[in-house]
Copies of this chain bind each other. A is one copy, B any other.
Amino acid sequence: MHQLTQQLNFIWELDRLKAVYRQALVQSDGNRRENSAEHSWHISLTAHILHDYAEESVDISRVTKMLLIHDIVEIDAGDTFAFAEQTKLDEQEAKEMQAANRLFGLLPDAQFQQVKALWMEFEEAKTADARFAKAMDRILPLLQNMRNQGDSWARHSVKKSQVIARNKYLMNLAPQLWNYVCEQIDIAVQMGWLQDE
């Protein structure tokens, strides 16, 4: 197939991420569920705004691309709540790998390899770029829950330790943001939005 045709088919397929709905609510739009496409936009921009808090060297261009692509696999695999049971999360991981191969595989081969490698780097969260990207994907839902009376935390009886574990990428990478997150978690416990165990 012609290279441009492959690329345009991929771009068109992306439209479907606008139909994948997450647990978070969009307060400014009547508390409807948030979709993964607008979420991806929001965290990509969040990364730009908070970039200077990273105390390790972080390539914002790579981070942004990771964040733009990180949820595409949900077109096939759907969104699983971050605090689901471990067996569900393991199943989700296998589904997402298949999804990555089918969806990124719509691209010409060189781009397929490049995008898939970047997605894997995000998933593995070992490099500073990937850890910063993960941190942005996690700090925004915290901000959303704090502004919305605990929202998905409260609805799903989430524990303090689970939120700390999800945000741990910030600890050494961006200590000032990590301190902010810890303060917010303490407030959430006081308000009864998070369970203290």
Show the binding face of A for B, using Cβ within 8 Å: 4, 7-8, 10-12, 14-19, 26-29, 34-35, 37-38, 40-42, 44-46, 48-50, 53, 60-61, 64-65, 68-69, 107, 111, 140, 143-144, 147, 176-177, 180
Write the nearest CB–CB distance from A33 to chain B, whole angstroms: 11
Is the beta-carbon distance between B49 and A27 smaller than 8 angstroms? no
Copies in the complex: 2
**B11, A143: Cβ atoms closer than 8 Å:** yes
The majority secondary structure among interface residues of chain A is: helix
Assuming the contacts A40-B41, A41-B44, A64-B64, asked whether A50 and B14 have C-beta atoms less than 8 A apart, the reply is no
CB-based contact A8/B45 at 8 Å: no
Asked whether, in the complex, the Cβ of B15 is within 8 Å of the Cβ of A41, the reply is no
By the criterion CB–CB under 8 Å, are A45 and B15 in contact? no
